[in-house]
Structure 1
Amino acid sequence: MQGRRRIITAAFLFLAIGVIGLFHDRAIAEKADGQASGDWISEIEKIFIRSEDCKQCHDRHYEEWKGAREQTPDLKTFGRVDAALLHGTSLESPVFRTVLGLWIQTNPTAEERTRCLSCHVPSTTVFPQHAEKMVTQVLAGKPKIEGIGCASCHLIKSVQTTAAPPPTFVIEPDKTMYGPYADPEENLVHPAMQSDLYRGANFCASCHFDKVKDVTQKNLPGEILQGTICQDCHMEPSTGSSTSKRGAMTRSIGRHWFRGVVIPGTLLKNRNLQAEWMPRIDIETAKSSANVEGTVLVKVGSLPHSFPDGDPILKQFFLEITVKDIRGAVLASETKRFGLGYDKILRGPIPDPFIKGGNTRKVPFSLAVPAGGSPTLIEAVLSYGLIPDPAPELKKQYLATLPDDKDREAAMKVIEEYTQPRMLTYRAKNL
């Protein structure tokens, strides 16, 4: 009996030691895996320090960048897209996650994936070897690295002076932070240096390349905005200090929330600006007993700024042409779509957007009139969507990759809201 008890005790001790050893080995393995997965993040953050660290001195700019400051009704109401796509949420945005997820289903190459991330995660241009890990984190909805942070912009030392494919910025992977001021305060955190680039439109156009005629130019050409740069409107002018420390309260500084879509004060003060910004439509027609044909002219003035806002690669435009009789009954209608589908994005050169400042797009049409119909009016409506509407099979394929119904519901909401056409302008003409 006693011998049997000893055997049982020995077996129990052996089992306990084995279990403890198993858990110990697993803990070591998990720790090693964690360190391995975090090594590449640490490697990036040695150069691209997190904005939370910058907050210790630059709390005002940090809160603006993060979207924590001055969420005024006009920003929330008119700037819905902006509020969802602040620079500080370039990787966290559910819109980016959804669009990237749909696009990944079209099997882009590693080079195409890196190119896609280059503006959303500027550190990719320095660490392209980690691009695939970034994609994996974004698709999981849990990005552990920062997208467009303080360092992403303030490590930019130059932009390419040729019309190279975007992005055209060149990052200096060092400790020096660049900015617009000639007399940056000395500090123990990082060296600072002035760069004239931060007072130029070519700085912003290195990613927002569809907004201007020539991305290499420092100023925006044209009579209306002569001498104006992107920062004048999108970094709302203010005064004070760029740090939480001290500084001349009369010093001019720019806010870091990068408002867009609607800037009511600017538009209301300058009606010429409003007229040049918005596209206009003219219609040239010829009518016969069998059809109505002609050309729709979509014109954008000399202002070198494209409207609407949104991603320069994803935007979709819709031109609906309708012929009606004297009672307003529709005799014929056609909708023409302009923009890339997911399977064409970043495959080859990036085409000019359908609407571009200083350009006129000519769209021919021919509408057959039913027998006995008498066309008396033609209408043209120009609308836009912010992202392509995925084909049903592509949407189904992407939704199947999401882990649960909550994620699928969120993705479907993004697709519905951001593909929805929004009217830009309208023209009617008697025949």
Structure 2
Amino acid sequence: MIPKFFLKVGRLIGCAIVLFGWMIAADSIAPRSAGAEPTKPLEKAFPHSEKCKRCHLRVFEEWEASAQSRSILTAPFRISLNRLIEAKGEKGAMMCFRCHAPHILEYPSHLKSFIDEVRSRDPRIDGVGCSQCHLIKDVKTEENPPLPIYALGKTIFGGYADAVENLAHQSEANPLYRRSDYCVTCHHSLPSMDNAQPLPGWLGNWRATKAQKSGKTCQTCHMPEAFGESANGERNRKIANHSFPGRFGKVRAKALEVDFETEVTGNTSHVTVTLRSLVPHHLPVPHPGWSRMVLDLTILGKNLKKVYGEQRLYERVYGDAHGAPTVFDFEAATILKDTLLKPEETRVESFTFPTPTDAPSMDVILTVTYSPVHGPKEFLDQIEKEAPLGTKDRAFQAVEVLQKKKNIPLKKR
């Protein structure tokens, strides 16, 4: 029979071996910035979000409805990726995956596999999922765009303290997750290729805005807090929303204020529109390159028949190396036109049109929408062909931001 003393020593040695083995493994999968590519299999280092669902159902369902969950799934992304690869080779795809599947930063040798997964139309990997976000420990803000630094191990980082102990992972509160610096790693600008001169960023001078100086961050609007449970069965507390509302979601209605005045002077009428951007970044953010917001003026006359219409476009029009317009910002060498609303900008638009005749009044309707995808016919045809819903795909649908109407009485003439 083995003495109890040796049994205890054996257990201690066994625990030490397990702990030492885990420490060696953790050290061997240090971030890319610290050395070689991790030896741990990618699917172990970055587990699929389906695994997180087991304990974090509410958060998973919110994320599943978000644009982030579709970062490598959409037809426009797949077609754009193929176009970039045709022009720059497979290595060019690193630029896309840096944000659409950022774990490529840790596993660059898997680039071909990432491309194949996207082309399969049913990838087995996440693009932007739980682990791609919650394994970020720091950000190199001096890089352009800022670079996320991963710490691959058993610790999950987040913005909340006092996490419930569990067997799945360790938890660590990280103030980075409550700062805009965290978000700009992927929402700042397109990484430059071929040592090209970088173009202006997507956000504008957000650090100088009233919102930023008052303490508001990206998360304030795009991850609004509400009472709920972070993990199944956990006590309710304020938890950040993981559907990341923006273009999609109710938050878009709070991005802009629109007022207008109408003046009728005989045969001519005038509408003056005041737009006030309430967000600390460009509106819209000019990525992808076909991103566009539309202000539509519609005038209805007798029997509610449309008698006049005019639009103003808010967008950044890129030019390629030959000066031709392109909606693919990875082809951009210059900016041909920029009508984006600047951070917290107030802009006035004026419209002049013939006063409707034989009508007791006219209806003035102003509508602001996010435009559907636009671009070369070949590109749109490819999206229609590859998207499961064809022209009913979300990419082809305009998204209303707001609408305002007024009925203006008219004098008989």
- Answer whether TM exceeds 0.5 for this pair: yes
Structure 2 distance, partners of 1:284, 1:109, is: 52
Shift of 1:152: 0.9
Q: What SS does the corresponding residue of 1:146 show, helix, strand or coil?
A: coil
In structure 2, which of residues 174, 185, 190 is the aligned counterpart of residue 195 of structure 1?
A: 174
Q: Which has the larger radius of gyration?
A: 1
CA distance in structure 1 between the partners assigned to 2:299 and 2:228 by the alignment: 55
Query: Alpha carbons of 1:381 and 1:151: their partners in 2 closer, same or farther (altered >3 Å)?
Result: same
Is the Cα contact below 8 Å between 1:297 and 1:363 reproduced in 2?
yes
Maintained 8 Å contact 1:158/1:197: yes
Q: 1:266-320 deviations in whole A, cap 9, x for unaligned?
A: x9xxxxx97x64330436889797x77786442224x547888997755322233
Q: Of the candidates 41, 51, 58, which is equivalent to residue 64 of structure 1?
A: 58
Report the secondary structure of 2:275's partner residue.
strand
Partner of 1:35: none
Deviation at residue 414 of structure 1 after TM alignment:
0.6
* Counterpart residue type for residue 123 of structure 1: H
Equivalent residue for 2:227, pick from 238, 255, 263: 238
Q: TM-score, normalised by structure 2?
A: 0.61
- In 1, the alpha carbon distance for the partners of 2:41 and 2:289 equals 30
Distance 2:64 2:287 in 1: 14
Tell me, in whole angstroms, the C-alpha distance in 2 between the residues paired with 1:345 and 1:429. Answer: 41
Q: Give 1:114's aligned residue.
A: 94
Query: 1 CA distance for matches of 2:239 and 2:327?
Result: 41
Deviation at residue 155 of structure 1 after TM alignment: 1.8
Aligned partners of 2:52 and 2:60 also within 8 Å: no
For residue 48 of structure 1, what is the aligned residue in structure 2? 46
* Conserved? CA contact 2:271–2:352, under 8 Å: yes
Q: Could you tell me which amino acid in structure 2 is paired with residue 142 of structure 1?
A: D
Aligned-pair CA distance for 1:388: 1.4
Query: Which residue of the partner structure matches residue 179 of structure 1?
Result: 158
Matched, 1:388 2:373: yes
Letter in 1 for 2:100: H
1:339 aligns to what SS in structure 2?
A: strand
Deviation at 1:101, TM superposition (A): 2.0
Farther off after superposition, 41-50 or 170-179: 41-50
- 1:345 aligned partner, one-letter code: F
Which amino acid is 2:124 matched to?
K
Give the counterpart of 2:275 among 298, 303, 308.
298
Label 1:337 to 1:358 Cα distance change in 2 as closer, same or farther (>3 A).
closer
1:405 corresponds to which residue? none
The alignment's TM-score, normalised by the length of structure 1, stands at 0.59
Q: Which residue identity is paired with 1:411?
A: G
Q: Is the 8 A contact 1:219 1:228 kept in 2?
A: no
Q: Is the 2:78–2:119 contact (alpha carbons within 8 Å) kept by the matching residues of 1?
A: yes
Q: State percent identity of aligned pairs.
A: 21
Higher fraction of strand: 2
- Report the counterpart of residue 13 of structure 1 in structure 2: none
**Are 2:344 and 1:358 equivalent residues in the alignment?**
yes
Mapping for residues 29-428 of structure 1, pairs under 5 Å:
43-54=41-52, 59-61=54-56, 63-67=57-61, 84-85=65-66, 87-92=68-73, 96-101=74-79, 104-105=82-83, 109=88, 113-128=93-108, 130-131=110-111, 133-161=113-141, 164-165=144-145, 168-175=146-153, 176-182=155-161, 192-208=171-187, 220-221=211-212, 230=219, 234=223, 236-238=225-227, 242=230, 249=235, 252-254=238-240, 256-258=242-244, 261-262=248-249, 277-282=255-260, 296-301=273-278, 303-304=279-280, 314-322=290-298, 332-339=308-315, 343-346=326-329, 347-348=331-332, 354-355=340-341, 357-363=343-349, 379=364, 381-385=366-370, 387-397=372-382, 402=386, 410-414=389-393, 418-420=396-398, 422=400, 424-426=402-404
- Give the direction of change, closer, same or farther, for the CA distance of 1:379–1:355 in structure 2 (3 Å limit): farther
Query: In the TM superposition, what is the alpha-carbon distance from 1:198 to its structure 2 partner?
Result: 1.5
CA distance in 2, matches of 1:357, 1:147: 29
Find the residue that maps to 1:117 and give its secondary structure: helix
Question: In the aligned structure 2, how far is the partner of 1:387 from the partner of 1:340?
Answer: 15
Structure 1 residue 393: deviation in Å? 3.3
CA 1:156–1:144: 2 relative to 1, 3 Å: same
In 1, the alpha carbon distance for the partners of 2:82 and 2:264 equals 45
- In the superposition, relative to structure 1, how do residues 288 and 357 fare at CA in structure 2: closer, same or farther (>3 Å)? farther
Judged with a 3 Å threshold, the aligned counterparts in structure 2 of structure 1 residues 150 and 352 are, in CA distance, closer, same or farther, namely farther
Aligned length: 347
Uncovered stretches (5+) of structure 1, i.e. residues with no partner: 1-38, 70-81, 268-272, 403-407
CA distance, structure 2, for counterparts of residue 50 and residue 409 of structure 1: 23
